A and B are shown apart, each in its own frame.
Chain A
Amino acid sequence: SQTIHQWPATLVQPVGSPLSLECTVEGTSNPNLYWYRQAAGRGLQLLFYSVGIGQISSEVPQNLSASRPQDRQFILSSKKLLLSDSGFYLCAWRGTANNSPLHFGNGTRLTVT
């Protein structure tokens, strides 16, 4: 069966520090991968999505980046965190069929202080 791992579960970082969140998927190949962010009390904001290795589409963020060095690995990074980067970060995968549902990881709660 397919599983998705996301770590760390919680993270407290000072403003201006770098960030690296990792997500890996097991039990499937060539998944579509997604990074979302959820601010407190808000909906999910799509940050990045990827259809294959090295193929990243960016939706919104100015100081965040994503990379997909391997088929089932998706990394979210920042060189310098802002206070506004605080939130709940969720990684998700889905199959390539049009109706494939999204499967989410447990999320990382990031607090920038």
Chain B
Amino acid sequence: QVQLMESGGGVVQPGKSLRLSCAASAFTFSSYTMHWVRQAPGKDLEWVVLMSYDGTIKYYADSVRGRFSISRDNSKNTLYLQMNTLRDDDTATYYCARGAQHLVQGSFDMWGQGTTVTVSS
């Protein structure tokens, strides 16, 4: 069925790096803007970054700009999030979410189950 599945989370020391992946299935991944959204334990949802369907447009939240990098491989139906110089406040569950078809602006109609990132020494 139509789904998103994140992987790559784990425990990492402050200042280190981690790469998350989001595998999409049963829909035309290459037609959709994709997002990463995170949620710190017991906290609210925070939008992190988006990439347009063709990879030409990226927008980052101020909190991660310059440290995180989004990419996608439409041939593999996979979205990535490279997280560098991790900080304690990056600890969260990271969700990938499907946005609009061929547009940047749109609601998020499909979410993965999330992958947990814990930044701790």
Please determine whether chains A and B interact with each other in the same assembly.
no
Chain A residues packing against B (C-beta within 8 Å):
none
B binding-site residues for A, Cβ under 8 Å: none
